[in-house]
């Protein structure tokens, strides 16, 4: 989740002849600590004067998303005028096991059952696979996750 304040709101000057997107602009947002988030790049495609999509990229929008469900929503909104071109996961330092934030380009999303030590019932979690083949759980775990203990179920391929 991203948090903003009214002090962080930014009101750009309207450029003459330029169409402004609806919504609010901020010069800063605060990230909820401890959770990964996603950077999604969306290609906007050019169209001829009749409105038919030509297919070359006119520009790329970059969207910050707080959940994988938000990423999926953007994927499902793909139409002939736009398409998601890449998804990256941003991991907080303690989850990445480093002193700095880590960014990884994702290739797919998987699901697996996890049985925590202190619970009888397993829970399902999403697991993210990077372009390099590294599997990343959605949150920091107290112990290393054994990806062979439970079968991984393929949920979604992402554009790479």
Domain containing 94 equals: 2-14+23-157
Given this model, what pLDDT does residue 11 score?
67
Q: Are 53 and 128 in contact (CB under 8 A)?
A: no
Q: Using the CB atoms, write b or e for 82-104: b if 16+ within 10 Å.
A: bbbebbbbbbbeebbeeeeeeeb
Average pLDDT, the chain: 78
Query: Structural domain tally of the chain?
Result: 1
Rg of the chain over Cα atoms, rounded to whole angstroms, equals 19
- pTM for this structure? 0.76
Given this model, what pLDDT does residue 21 score?
61
Six-digit token string for 151? 């079968």
Given this model, what pLDDT does residue 53 score?
63
């Amino acid at each position: 989740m991203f948090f903003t304040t009214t002090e962080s709101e930014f009101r750009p000057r309207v450029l003459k002849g330029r169409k402004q997107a609806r919504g609010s602009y901020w010069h800063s947002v605060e990230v909820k600590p401890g959770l990964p988030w996603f950077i999604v790049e969306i290609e906007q495609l050019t169209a001829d004067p009749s409105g038919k999509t030509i297919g070359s990229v006119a520009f790329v929008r970059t969207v910050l998303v707080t959940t994988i469900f938000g990423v999926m929503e953007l994927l499902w909104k793909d139409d002939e005028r736009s398409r998601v071109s890449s998804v990256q996961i941003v991991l907080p330092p303690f989850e990445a096991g480093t002193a700095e934030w880590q960014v990884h380009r994702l290739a797919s999303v998987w699901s697996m059952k996890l049985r925590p030590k202190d619970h009888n019932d397993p829970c399902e979690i999403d697991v993210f696979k990077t372009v390099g083949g590294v599997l990343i759980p959605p949150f920091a775990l107290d112990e290393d996750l054994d990806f062979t203990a439970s079968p991984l179920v393929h949920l979604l391929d992402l554009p790479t």
